[in-house]
Amino acid sequence: MTSFTAADIPPQGGRTIVVTGANGGVGRVTATVLAGKGARVILAVRSEEKGRAAAAAMGVNTEVRRLDLADLSSVREFAESFTGPIDVLINNAGISIPPLTRTVDGFESQFGTNHLGHFALTNLLLPQVRDRVVTVGSLVHLIGKVDVTDLNWHRRRYRPYGAYGQSKLANHLFAHELQRKLSAAGSSVISVVAHPGIATTNLMNVEGRGLRYRVEKSIVQSIAHSAEAGALPSLYAATADIPGDSYIGPSRLLGMRGAPSPAKPAAKTRNAENARRLWQASEELTGTAFTLPADRPREEAGR
C-alpha cells in the first residue's frame, strides 16, 4: 500500500506523454497534472473544440490533436501525423454501457472504442514509444467475458453491461500480451494497467436509461471518490518505477477507492491463451500488428 499523491510525481520536463480522452474526467485530471509537472502533453480527443477548452484551462505544455477511436481511419491519421518520440502513451478514453451502436468500421461501439481503437493506436505508435504504455482498465473487467467467436455482438443478444465488461477485460488481456511481446523483443518499454476504482466522472452519463440504471448509479456515486483521486492510479502507473505487467489500482474498499498501489490481478487477466487469441482477432479486425523490431537494442528503448 502507498500514500502516493500528485505531489510525489517527479518533474516530467523533457518527456512527451499522449493521453487519449484527455478533455474530461480522469483523462483531463491526468493530463493536467502531468502538464503541471513539465511534460509536453498531447490531448488526443475526438472533439478538438472540447480539447482546446481543456488545454486552455491547463495552461502551458499542452497540444490538442484529433483522435476518434471509433474510426480506424482517424486512428491511422493521428499516428501518421505523429513522427516524434513518445515517452508514455496513456490509453485512457472509453465509453460505457450505451445502447447497441456500431463504429465507423462496424464494430460494437464499446469493444471498438475501448479496445480495438487503442489496440490499433498502440501498434501504430509503438516504434516511437520510449518508456511505457499505460492502459486504463476498470473493475468491471471482473464480470467480463471475451467471446472471440462473436466479439462484435452479431450473434449474441446485446447486453450493454456484458459488452462493457468484455471491452474492459480485453484491455487487460491486451496489456498482458503486449508485455509478453515487448519482453520477447528484448525491449525495455513496458506495458502496465491502471484502474481508477469508482470515480465520479461523466463516463456513465448517457441519456435515456431506465430505473435500474439510475438506482445503480445512485449507489455507485455514494461510494465513489473524485476524478482527481481516480486519476492517481494512472499517474502512478505512468511515472513510478514499476515493472512491466504491473496492475495498479486504489488500495481500499476492494479496490474502489483510496491511494494507488500494486494490486493482485484476477486470474483471467493472465490467461495467456485467451490473450493470444484476442490479439490475433484484433490484428485481423484492425489491420495492425506488433511492429517493434525483434532486434531493437534495449538501450535504444530506454526510459
- pLDDT, tens digit (0-9, with 9 covering 90-100), for 114-153: 999 999 999 999 999 999 999 999 888 888 999 999 999 9
Per-residue model confidence (pLDDT) at position 206: 44
Mean pLDDT of the chain: 88
Q: What nine digits make up the cell of 177?
A: 500480451
| Length, in residues, of the chain | 303
In the chain the first and final C-alpha atoms are separated, in Å, by: 25
Exposure class string for 41-55: b at 16+ Cβ within 10 A, else e? bbbbbbeeebbeebb
Question: What is the average per-residue pLDDT within 85-91?
Answer: 98
**Mean pLDDT on 279-299:** 79
User: What are residue 90's phi and psi, to 5 degrees?
Assistant: -110, 105
What are the tens digits of pLDDT across the range 238-254? 999 999 999 998 855 54
Domain coordinates in residue numbering, the chain: 6-285
pLDDT (0 to 100) of residue 201: 53
The alpha carbon dihedral of 47, 93, 104, 120 has a sign of positive
Cell digits of residue 101: 451502436
Half-sphere exposure (Cβ direction) of 180: Cα atoms closer than 13 Å: 13
Question: Is the domain defined by 6-285 classed in CATH 3.40.50.2020?
Answer: no
| pTM (2 d.p.) | 0.89
pLDDT confidence of residue 3: 85
Q: CA–CA distance from 2 to each of 224, 250, 261, 293 (Å)?
A: 19, 9, 6, 36
CA distance linking residue 150 with residue 95, whole number of Å: 20
Output the pLDDT for position 297.
43
**Per annotation, catalytic residue among 158, 161, 164, 236:** 164
Whether the Cβ atoms of residue 42 and residue 19 lie closer than 8 Å to each other: yes
Among 241, 255, 251, residue whose Cα is nearest residue 2: 251
Cα separation, 193 vs 244, whole angstroms = 9
pLDDT tens-digit readout, 64-75:
999 999 999 999
Q: Output phi, psi for 226, to 5 deg.
A: -70, 165
| 236 annotated active-site | no
Q: How far apart are CA 240 and CA 192, in angstroms?
A: 11
Separation CA 94–CA 160 (nearest Å): 14
DSSP code, position 115: I
List the beta bridge partners of residue 172: none
Query: What was the pLDDT predicted at 129?
Result: 97
